[in-house]
Amino acid sequence: MQKYNIAIVGATGAVGQEFLKILAEREFPVGKLSLLATARSAGKLIEWQGQSYTVAETSPEAFAGIDIALFAGGSASTVFAQDAVARGAVVIDNSSAFRLDPAVPLVVPEVNPQDVAWHKGIIANPNCSTIIMAAAIKPIFDAAGIKRIVVSTYQAVSGAGREGIEELAAQTRELVEGREVTAQVFPYQIAYNLIPRIDVFQEGDYTKEEWKMVKETQKIFHAENMAITATTVRVPVFRSHSESINIETERKITASQAREVLAQAPGLVLIDDPSADKYPMPLFAADTDAVYVGRIREDLSIERGLNLWVVGDQIRKGAATNAVQIAELLLK
């Protein structure tokens, strides 16, 4: 089997570490592996597949001979992605830098795999919440069309990286021990609290995270007229994002029909049995690759409406797994 030289930029972070785990799990044909990060992390040793790798500082020269460069996100993308492409690598980028660039495909493999074919060296990985929603609504889109989406997210602290996880854990200990709570990663205490703001506020007092869900979903589905509104909320959950999605379809589809198409869709797991109190929860979705769908019911306030409850691990399917799946599409 042909093997491919892989570089991981941001290898020491949460998504970078997940890249390594998923490459191993999916038996990706890795030849040479280059682990790259900032100067501060250079020199660290990382064990992978029985070998020890030394993390190097990211530089343009580090991409010589690399076939696929997986960028975990952050400022490195704008600094080094074009250098990687110039040296012959295909960049799969997890940052927001290229997602809305019309010359760059924005891909969820279960939704628009065909868009990989027109890349010019860079393929963008969508926002984590966008990926989870797009995978869940694709079967509905194909079966009945989608006119409008109203989505509210319940996003885990790991969406803010390792620092977010550590802050929730620390604040929980502080509260239990009766000490003063310190907040550095999030603008307010997140333990035992909800914060209805993720990223900065932008046009119309929507946050950047909310606009990502709107604009990225329209691009992925090639549906500029799809009406979408979003409210994104940080919740005191360590891992896995949840989403309440209300859909108005172009054509009538019943809840039963929706369950049927969702049950058959790749990458989805249907958990929808109210009589047995079964539905998706972040507790069970963590560290898995599937997107879980349940609480499927018709919206009785409109003629063609559906409600869905969707959960997915935003570090895996919402980031690293989706990127590796894109790499697998390249191999094909």
Are residues 200 and 273 located together in one domain of the fold?
Answer: yes
pLDDT digits (tens, 9 = 90+) for 205-245: 999 999 999 999 999 999 999 999 999 999 999 999 999 99
Are residues 145 and 95 located together in one domain of the fold?
Answer: no
- Residue 139 sits in a domain whose CATH number is 3.30.360.10
Average pLDDT (39-62) is 96
- Residue 102 sits in a domain whose CATH number is 3.40.50.720
Alpha helices per DSSP H over the chain: 14-25, 76-86, 128-144, 162-176, 208-220, 255-263, 282-285, 321-331
Are residues 206 and 306 located together in one domain of the fold?
Answer: yes
How many domains are contained in the chain? 2
202 tagged catalytic: no
Answer yes or no: are the C-beta atoms of 235 and 155 closer than 8 Å. yes
Average pLDDT (281-308) is 97
Residue range(s) defining the domain that contains residue 91: 4-126+319-331
Are residues 153 and 115 located together in one domain of the fold?
Answer: no
Are residues 255 and 201 located together in one domain of the fold?
Answer: yes
Are residues 184 and 269 located together in one domain of the fold?
Answer: yes
Are residues 106 and 211 located together in one domain of the fold?
Answer: no
Are residues 268 and 149 located together in one domain of the fold?
Answer: yes
Answer yes or no: are the C-beta atoms of 35 and 53 closer than 8 Å. yes
Of 9, 116, 128, 286, which one is the catalytic site residue? 128
241 tagged catalytic: yes
pTM of the predicted protein model: 0.96
Average pLDDT (83-100) is 97
Of 241, 304, 316, 317, which one is the catalytic site residue? 241
Are residues 28 and 162 located together in one domain of the fold?
Answer: no
| 3-state DSSP assignment of residue 184 | coil
Are residues 57 and 157 located together in one domain of the fold?
Answer: no
Are residues 100 and 56 located together in one domain of the fold?
Answer: yes
Are residues 138 and 120 located together in one domain of the fold?
Answer: no
